Structure 1
């Protein structure tokens, strides 16, 4: 057993050295990931189980941003975060106020691009893989939640999903343990559920927010966005090997370097490819697959891709690190 541990460690060390050599920059700490199945009992809920769903992160069909990534099994393993919600509970947080969890303590969420009247889920396919629908069966209200507000909606795949005040209810695959609220505020469209079905709080604590994730853009496909859902770009005049910036001076008035990120707060991307670069001014900039990342001041809201193709040198970045649209 001791020998096997030494061999495994040596393999990881070699991979780290190769990445560092390729980029010419050290990599931040990264976290492993595990697959998380959609919530359900004997029947899988949500289209995330289909072959078309894949394992990447995507947006709900209305354009909201969503993410996966580090989906560790969490406390008690995967079984505790799947299946019916059973007896709901109301928790209270200094930042979010009161919010709803299932019987195991996993935070429950709502999607702003769903509708409550009539109840309808707009989170399907890849979205449903990262935001598993909570089955409608065996759910019960608790003190602080009106039982009459609990209901169900038939999803596109024919399964029944729990609703609260008409809003379809989800878990987030990015939550690693009961009590996590990492899905709060993702893409500006996902929020923990308050007991009355409204969004809990306004924003999650900054430390609990995802910092890089993937959005399924209708025009460009899967592209990287920051924690606020803003598109990130790469610059042809930068260099990946070795890492070097070509955006200096006045360039920085328009293209803002993405700050180095915590690789445990990356979703839908290979965290091993997330690195950082020390800029000439001493600040650290995030990079993916050795390419420096920027946001564009011409993008005014999440989902904008106004920087795509600017001067033939700026491009959104795919979930594989390539230039989008090429």
Structure 2
């Protein structure tokens, strides 16, 4: 009994004789925090970019226009998928912009604004951005792109309303074509009868705007393949319309699903072409 009392008193003496510094060493008042699964990093070249919790850069693939991954087999080896079940986010990122898809191979993958997210195998350290512009269809994942650069099959419709594949010269056939979309993958068009910085389609009362809506958005951040100097704006009956190489830009009202580009065959192929870096200036 006396031995127990002695041990208790000794323990109390040791604890009460510790300095405040000793107590802080025993109990850390500021334990380390876990990094978020998706971070918002600032890159000297690209500005704000998306990375994983260890600072490894994430990427978008131009062919993923319909919200599903088109990167499989050897492609997936070079561009590993990004997936975190518990997707914690840095301040400034909106959870509503993120999603999850189940890929054709059964694996799950995170998306941002409908674009599946990937790593690049040749990024060796945090902050590397070696994958940007590879093949002209891989781009660093940014949260604030105004536009995206897509690569997909052009699909119009025949006279009976059936889907019909077109090549980049608007003849029937299969093949991938590059074209500009908005940040969520909606196809952008020009009108063959427009002249330099002049909209020759839209009525002054905008009665035909639902068919071919004019595009009004801020062109702040764009994929590295695009040149900001190619974009401008014009006034269309009091509204602002974006131009590319002098061509006024439009959406097609009947492009309902993500990745649709049905406007390329209306009323006949080539009247409302897509736009890309090969588009000639007016």
Give the TM-score category using the shorter length. Answer: 0.3 to 0.5
TM-score (norm 2): 0.47
Which one has a bigger Cα radius of gyration? 2
Q: Looking at both structures, which has the greater relative contact order when contacts are Cα pairs under 8 Å and sequence separation is at least 6?
A: 1
TM-score (norm 1): 0.41
